[in-house]
Structure 1
């Protein structure tokens, strides 16, 4: 009888392959359809030629790159453990699937513009781009879920909180013992400083505890469910930026290219592992900073076709990251202050 682990592996691999191959096939078919309509010919030679090329591309990348890398990662586990900070599967998807999909999305728009400019719609359907981003997010979710079981309950956050609290208590006790052994006289000023600092800390509203009430069922948190939540929330800014590319004032002009280029660059962060220390820095560098200037330029040139909230989000995230990570280390900003 087939074990659940084998079934889980097969389902994951099939879903990843679908997320890898389907977006390219769909968008290249849209491009072939638009190109055929521009030719205004009864015969569909160009259409089937482009479709066959898309199938050949997906088949070749699958057989020459996707399958060998997958087999190598599955058979050579020691090589997989040596990879630190980035994910090969996500890199293959971003380079071999997302990049050609975005490229042919731009090509489809250009074909429609050169075909009949007067009958262009006010906005382009976002089905193709949504399919690309959804497939990339699904692939990211599957890669994160591989380390978790799909059955049973897990209180991962509670265990981490207990471990962190225990480590903090151990460090506090060990520091106190060291101070007692070193010098009992010098400990008095240290205690005064600690007590004074503790009094200066602001006290906010207390967090509720639902362990002994009926609300404990509703307040349960599981890391597996949060993977789905945060995987979509992280890319909401990129989804909104790509949606703007479907506006008539954007896709009918040269603004289409910077929107797609910087949207693709923001997706490069998905190659990194979830706990990579460089992930926050690259998030600001590849998404918030360029998105701020693109949105500001679009608002100045074309009006509020992109929401002001996105512009404020990019500006605040960038400024807060620079201030709290770098400016607070300088002397004028290094004084510890709290507000009540």
Structure 2
């Protein structure tokens, strides 16, 4: 009987292989069908030729690139451990699957628009299935790569549980020190809403006031304890989809008739693909936040603002507000607060 580790490996590899191959085949079949509709003859020679080329492409990149890289990473663990900051599997998916899929998604509309120089046969809305399939498969591969270091069975404590345990010990130590200090003082001290904490970069002995916010509740029994359970493996699914919600919304904008019937479909797809390049980095790469601003939020500000000015509210204004606020907050808290005018430490109630 196969071990659980071997079954997990086979399940992950088959699922990643399906996510690597299926999107390209679906998009190419859609392109073949669109191209066949432009032909006046009922012969489907061109349709099957394009489908055959798509199958040949997927088979070639799978056998010549995907399988050798996978075998090398599995057999040569010392080489895999030397890779720092980026993920080879995500690089292959982004370059060999997502890029061709986005390219042929644009080609579908261009083929239909070039029929007798008319756009009358274009549908009112582009089908959502191909684009959603591409992004879903890409996110699934991202989730699998993150789940490899976790078991699929048994209870797994998250980092938050360890953080809560450490914080509780620190709070107990702080309370003990305060009680000892109060016993030594003869005069009572007024209650304060802030406490002193040591922060990097502090000027006065490394101590700065820190605001004490509302206490988080804890549940020891009953239905509330059951509802408060959380596992880092389940949070991976939530975080992976939430991380790319902005890109998903931007790609959906390309399906609007005013966008894909004009030249705006090109910058939408181009900058959406550029934003996906962040998936190549490891989840805890220090460059991930700055690249998120440069590859997603800043370009999306100009794209969304231009679309709203030229075509109206084809893209949600909430998305534009998100990109602006995220970019401004990143620049302010990471760079502007280092200047003297923004350096004084402040807290508010």
Structure 2 spans left out of the alignment, 5+ residues: 175-193, 198-206
Deviations 1:136-177 (A, max 9, x none): 0000001111100000001123443157548978x99xxxxx
Cα displacement (A) at 1:286? 0.4
Contact 2:112 2:121 in 1 (8 A): no
Contact 1:28 1:101 in 2 (8 A): yes
Mapping for residues 176-215 of structure 1, pairs under 5 Å: 200-215=209-224
How many angstroms does 1:200 deviate by?
A: 4.8
| Post-superposition offset of 1:70 | 0.1
The answer to whether the 8 Å contact 1:34/1:111 transfers is yes
- Counterpart for residue 37 of structure 1: 37
Superposition CA RMSD, Å: 2.1
Tell me how far apart the structure 1 counterparts of residues 20 and 316 of structure 2 sit (CA, whole Å).
31
Structure 1 residue aligned with 2:343: 334
CA–CA distance in 1 between the matches of 2:168 and 2:72?
40
Q: Partners of 2:113 and 2:223 in 1: how far apart? A: 60
After TM superposition, which residue ranges in structure 1, 4 or more long, deviate above 3 angstroms? 162-169, 194-201
* 1:1-340 mapped onto 2 (5 Å cutoff): 1-115=1-115, 116-161=118-163, 164-165=166-167, 200-340=209-349
Shift of 1:203: 3.2
Q: Deviation of residue 307 (structure 1)?
A: 0.4
The 1-side partners of 2:218 and 2:224 are apart by: 9
Secondary structure of the 2:113 match is helix
Residue 213 of structure 1: CA displacement?
A: 4.3
8 Å Cα contact 2:195-2:211 kept in structure 1: no
SS of 1:288's partner is: helix
Cα distance change, pair 44–20 in 1 and its aligned pair in 2 (3 A) = same
Q: Please report the TM-score for the alignment, with normalisation by the length of structure 2.
A: 0.87
Equivalent-residue separation in structure 1 for 2:209 and 2:16 (angstroms) = 52
Indicate conservation of the 8 Å contact 1:35/1:47, yes or no: yes
1:40 to partner: Cα distance: 2.1
* Alignment deviations for residues 82-107 of structure 1 (CA, whole Å, 9 cap, x no partner): 00000000000000000000000010
Q: Contact conserved, 2:126 with 2:255, CA < 8 A, in 1?
A: yes
Contact 2:109/2:122 (CA < 8 Å) preserved in 1?
no
Q: Is the 8 A contact 1:157 1:222 kept in 2?
A: no
Deviations 1:217-274 (A, max 9, x none): 1101100000000110011100100000011111111101000000000000000000
Number of aligned residue pairs: 319
Structure 1: runs of 5+ lacking an equivalent:
173-193
Structure 2 CA distance for partners of 1:129 and 1:89, relative to 1, 3 Å: same
Larger proportion of helix: 1
TM-score (norm 1): 0.89
